[in-house]
């Protein structure tokens, strides 16, 4: 049965956040809010957590997982970013964007695209997600909480608790956070490509 944490959206309770972080360190899988919708998350080295995300979402090996980072220091550890790409990403983060970037050696192979050797990375604006990343001290391996056969991500924490009670270890509820997933921009080929239009404004990239 999943633990349920009612966390304030503006002033997250450090004790509750710390309990979730402790669970993550014990190879837990969580559902947590971001500034674009809810996501599933676990630590990068949690192989069972990755398998559980795959099973919940019925993903294949070509899926781009996202490393949700606290800041550019973390992002730069796991993704290769040249000066031009850094400036482009810096101009719109934190926010509702995911960037496809060449992965560094720090990224486990299971998290990379098998052919492109790329990984998704983002820096969220959501206060609770940021508090979680602050205490965790490293990025979260994440995937949008979009269930198979459903058009929109789940947004209600209590509903997520009821629906995923036996497949996740904790649900953080801090109120609604929207249903629109991130805008996805691919910088891995030199020229940028807008892969998905979503929460982030694409006008400056077009």
CB 44 within 8 A of CB 138: yes
Domain residue spans of the chain: 3-205
Question: Cα separation of 62 and 115, whole Å?
Answer: 9
**pLDDT for 103:** 93
CB 186 within 8 A of CB 88: no
The C-alpha angle 190, 192, 197, rounded to 5 degrees, equals: 160
**pLDDT for 6:** 96
Question: Cα separation of 177 and 38, whole Å?
Answer: 7
**pLDDT for 175:** 86
The pTM score is 0.93
Q: Examine the pLDDT at 178 and tell me if it is beyond 80.
A: no
For residue 62, the SS3 value is coil
Residues 18-53 have pLDDT tens digits of 999 999 999 999 999 998 889 999 999 999 999 999
Q: Examine the pLDDT at 190 and tell me if it is beyond 80.
A: no
Average pLDDT over residues 159-181: 91
Q: Please say whether the dihedral angle defined by the alpha carbons of residues 57, 61, 63 and 65, taken in this order, is positive or negative.
A: positive
Residue 92 C-alpha from the chain's centroid: 17
The more confident residue out of 186 and 206 is: 186
Highest mean pLDDT among 58-62, 109-113, 180-184: 180-184
Residue 130 pLDDT grade (very low, low, confident, very high; cuts 50, 70, 90)? very high
Q: Examine the pLDDT at 85 and tell me if it is beyond 80.
A: yes
3-7, 104-108, 166-170: range with lowest mean pLDDT: 104-108
Helix residue ranges, H only, 72-198: 72-78, 83-90, 127-136, 157-163
Cβ count within 10 A of residue 96: 23
The more confident residue out of 152 and 33 is: 33
How many Cα atoms are found within 13 Å in the side-chain-facing hemisphere of 202?
16
Per CATH, the architecture of 3-205 is what? Alpha-Beta Complex (3.90)
78, 144, 204 from 89: Cα distances, Å: 15, 20, 11
The C-alpha angle 133, 135, 137, rounded to 5 degrees, equals: 65
């Amino acid at each position: 049965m999943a633990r349920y944490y009612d966390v304030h959206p503006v002033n997250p309770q450090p004790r509750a956040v710390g309990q979730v972080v402790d669970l993550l360190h014990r190879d837990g899988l969580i559902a947590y809010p971001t500034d674009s919708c809810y996501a599933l998350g676990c630590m990068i080295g949690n192989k069972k957590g990755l398998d559980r995300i795959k099973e919940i979402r019925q993903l294949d090996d070509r899926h781009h997982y996202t490393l949700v980072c606290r800041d550019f220091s973390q992002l730069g550890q796991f993704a290769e970013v040249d000066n031009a790409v850094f400036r482009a990403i810096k101009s719109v983060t934190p926010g509702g964007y995911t960037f496809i970037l060449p992965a560094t050696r720090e990224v486990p192979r299971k998290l990379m695209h098998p052919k492109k050797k790329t990984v998704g990375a983002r820096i969220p604006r959501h206060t609770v997600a940021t508090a979680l990343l602050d205490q965790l001290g490293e990025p979260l391996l994440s995937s949008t909480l979009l269930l198979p056969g459903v058009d929109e991500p789940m947004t209600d924490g209590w509903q997520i608790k009821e629906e995923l009670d036996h497949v996740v270890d904790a649900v953080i509820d801090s109120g609604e956070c929207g249903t629109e997933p991130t805008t996805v921009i691919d910088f891995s080929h030199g020229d940028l490509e807008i892969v998905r239009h979503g929460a982030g404004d694409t006008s400056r990239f077009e």
